[in-house]
Chains A and B, each alone.
Chain A
């Protein structure tokens, strides 16, 4: 999710912000984050990159408010002489698609340049998936000799002065030394050739998706005309990103000129293509899904507010909208235009019978019994720390990748979290008698198994007290268990045992060994019971 900030002064040149407008901004599906005299901050969901620039936002929001409704048309001038981009087939492997345009008549000031750079960055971060899917380049036209070629070259053959640098570097040096090169080098990793845009004087304009040339890659207040290219892996997204940029620049005052892309075998294509897309929608589906009864004319009126034209049961979608995959996407736009606040909530008259999961019922009864014994329930993290696994001499570890905290291993018992919590509470009043019912994780044949378990930890306490509690639970939950002396690495020898139901080991009981207590910095004796609840679920279901 991206949040964008617009200058309030600039914004209010188009729309005055009143209380009502504030409310409408949220009802438009763009939550208002903050507002002060300087700035307005709005959250934009990832399906609407066309709202990331102030002009893009104003274009759509104005229509929503009932001004300048319906599909906005932009005129696109035909390519002039040499408005050509030759696309070499060498790019197929590394970054196959591009779409290009030229903009004229721009009169840029500092604010506008900022907006252009800003939208470029926001689009890179969102729809561009950090430049992987789409990267955008904007160049002052006066520094470029048309036509342009898009091709892939060996890294040694790519030499230019990258932006914000003084020295000429080759492609590999850029990837290693230039900040942008280092940040995005992974996007070219493994390729033998890297893509470049070259002008007719054989100057390299840029190496997408990494960096532009310092000579040709920077617009300033005197720039009147620009060359724009988008490159990437998904043709439709590349095209739409270009549409988004050129229409925004047109809103700023520019004039759009198309370019001709020339592929091998003389295949040709003109970009940008601002023809609106047509999708058939059915009135019945709209009304059925929303639970209201609109007429055709109302649908037309509502869609106009979303900048969409509607004729003959067909919606005409702006060429910069990237989020319309299906009729339902247009139905949502109708709902937004109708106003989420105008729908009357209704409890559906659908009879169904409720059903609790058997296991959840048993767990609840079990915790009732333990609370009755005066125990306090804890609720701990499902992940444990590396150091904790070490203390407890755990070898088989299921780890998560790249955790941002110390917690990085799935817990395979509830003893570790219980000891952590007793350790963290060592300065609080005793006795401390705690329990937890929760999921534990184990690996068997490289598959993760999950198990519901119960831990009881009593402090200060001894084996007898633990066994009293176990006896009590066994009696109430109808299970017969037996004890089998064992050697548990964290419990005192001769004072710990496996808990068995018939021949199944379901857990252990015992007193925690002093060396374990010391490792956890605990000064009081602790007795514990930990059992898997699976057998108990089964037995409880047989006995009702």
Chain B
């Protein structure tokens, strides 16, 4: 394309911003800013537009400056805490650590840091819980590198002397004393094409924005400014539901489609419902503080006496030909409140309220459960569980497998495996695993079984088969969203939530 043709084309596509700065393109950014009265961001945008049109080349250099942080501002005014401590020691040394802490009026953290700093500088000695000054008057009065450094801020990172670098290293680790800001600096140079146009006043009668007025007064001979169709546009984000809740919604839909009715219940629950009604002996390790969150200083009421007595009997000597656990069941233990450790307590409660004429019945629940765990990539103290029960006199083990298979098929797992397992409240018990075709492994998803008579008889009044399951939910979600670290499930990184795939 001949040069002048290219220039015409470019002129047709100039935006108002570009037109505004072109007359001053021979100058530097600061002058452009003064003459056009545009803000810096607008000028940079215009320059990038021009760069797309091959008229300028934009250079970006990053510069880091070191500024005072919130604590830094305060300390510059009122001295660093170690200086305050030093001043105190000048008046009184040796002094007990406790006393020094009180008189210095420093916070726990400040005091600890100050001790460390002064010890490092060998200005003090700590012996037998006492602090003793270990320096001459001159040494004490002399400003530390850190203090000098603070006085000189802000500074360019590139311009630091080695002493300043040392001070920066020391102060960086301390809370909010230093703030490092990164700033991009922009400069540009003109291309040949740019040189032709720079400095010119460009008059344009091209239409910039289509307005209602233009539409109503439209005549054919008007022309639009050409847009740069290829340039990037600013990103936008829509509102999103949390992906864990999206997963829960999908599972709810499946259970509803299969004719199950929803159960919801409180998250704090008595040990009675969480453990005792589920035939979990009172000395079972899961009832230990190490495994379960117990609520301090509060106790729950128990349900009606007849149920409590039946459960007690089931534990102590057994019901329905069971031998029971043969120990003395303690009501007080049952009244302790816990954050539910599984949604199975919802099923237990449901069994105690359902009436005979409402059978057969199918219920499900999906909800948060808790266990006293540390937080790391594979552990968390909260997790989601999907619970279901079928109560029917003709229900059997094959039905249990059938329902689970159907649910997981609908969740997207074609191959499923059942292996024997153990829970205090089900017999037979099983573990569900699904085949992960990409990883070539069985993924264990959780337990299921048929409630023991020791669970059913006290709650329902007779031994009717109750098929029950409660697989965890988070593992499936992690797999679906390709999350490797469990903590990501609840870290709520807004950028990730905005962008997570459907």
CB proximity to A under 8 Å, residues B428-487: 428-431, 444, 450, 452-454, 465
The residues of A that contact B293 with a CB separation of less than 8 Å are 400-401, 403
**B421–A45 CB distance below 8 A:** yes
Count of A-B contacts with CB under 8 A? 251
- How many Å lie between the Cα of A486 and that of B396 in the bound state? 60
Contact assessment for A428 and B403 in the assembled complex, using a CB-CB cutoff below 8 Å? no
The reply to whether the CB of A356 lies closer than 8 angstroms to some CB of chain B is yes
Partner of A343, one of B327, B398, B494: B398
Say what secondary structure dominates the interface of chain B.
mixed
Interface residues of B in 282-318 (CB under 8 A from A): 283, 285, 289-290, 293-296, 298, 318
A343 with B298: CB separation less than 8 A: no
Q: Give the chain A neighbours of B326 by CB distance below 8 A.
A: 234, 236
For the complex, count residues of B whose C-beta is within 8 A of A.
94
Residues of A within 8 A of B283 (CB): 129, 132-133
Interface segment out of the listed A80-88, A241-249, A297-305, A328-336: A328-336
At the interface, yes or no: B91 with Cβ under 8 Å from chain A?
Answer: no
Establish whether residues B427 and A332, one from each chain, have CB atoms under 8 Å apart when the complex forms: yes
Interface residue? B45 (CB, 8 A): no
Q: Is B260 an interface residue (CB 8 A)?
A: yes
Partner pick for A405 among B240, B381, B465, CB 8 A cutoff:
B381
- State the Cβ distance, B124 to closest chain A Cβ, in Å: 30
Given A28-B420, A325-B324, A382-B368, do A332 and B318 touch, yes or no (CB 8 Å)? no
Q: Which of A354, A371, A421 contacts B492 (CB 8 A)?
A: A421
B353 interfacial by beta-carbon distance below 8 Å: no
| Given A29-B420, A379-B492, A425-B494, A405 and B375 contact (CB-CB distance below 8 Å) | yes
A323: min CB distance to chain B, Å: 8
Q: Which of B248-266 contact A (CB under 8 A)?
A: 249, 252, 255-264, 266
Most buried by B among A234, A329, A332: A332
- Give the residues in chain B near A346, CB-CB below 8 Å: 398-399, 401-402
Contacts of A364 in B (CB 8 A): 249
Could you say which residues of chain A place their CB within 8 Å of the CB of B374?
404-405
When distances are taken between beta carbons in the complex, the residues of chain B under 8 Å from A48 are 422
The minimal Cβ–Cβ distance linking B18 to chain A, given in whole angstroms, is 26
- CB pair B264 A359 closer than 8 Å: yes
Quick check: is A348 within 8 A (CB to CB) of the other chain? Answer: yes
Nearest CB of A to B26, in Å? 36
Question: B490 touches which one: A326, A350, A351, A381 (CB < 8 A)?
Answer: A381
B10-24 interface code vs A (CB 8 A; 1 in, 0 out) = 000000000000000
A residues bordering B, Cβ < 8 Å? Answer: 26-29, 31, 45-48, 129, 132-133, 233-234, 236, 288-292, 325-329, 331-332, 335-336, 340-341, 343-348, 350-357, 359-360, 364, 367, 370-383, 398-405, 407, 410, 421, 424-425, 428-429, 432-434, 439, 441, 443, 446-448, 450, 518
**What are 22 pairs between A and B in contact, CB < 8 Å?**
A290-B396, A290-B397, A291-B399, A327-B321, A328-B428, A336-B428, A345-B402, A348-B390, A355-B261, A357-B263, A371-B238, A371-B239, A376-B240, A377-B241, A379-B492, A381-B490, A398-B298, A399-B295, A404-B374, A405-B381, A410-B295, A450-B267
Given contacts A325-B454, A348-B399, 9 further A-B contacts (CB under 8 A): A31-B419, A31-B431, A328-B450, A350-B360, A351-B259, A360-B262, A377-B497, A425-B495, A433-B239
User: Which residues of B line the A interface, CB within 8 A?
Assistant: 70, 237-242, 244-245, 249, 252, 255-264, 266-268, 283, 285, 289-290, 293-296, 298, 318, 320-327, 337, 339, 360-362, 368, 370, 372-375, 381-382, 390, 392, 394-399, 401-406, 417-422, 427-431, 444, 450, 452-454, 465, 490-495, 497-498
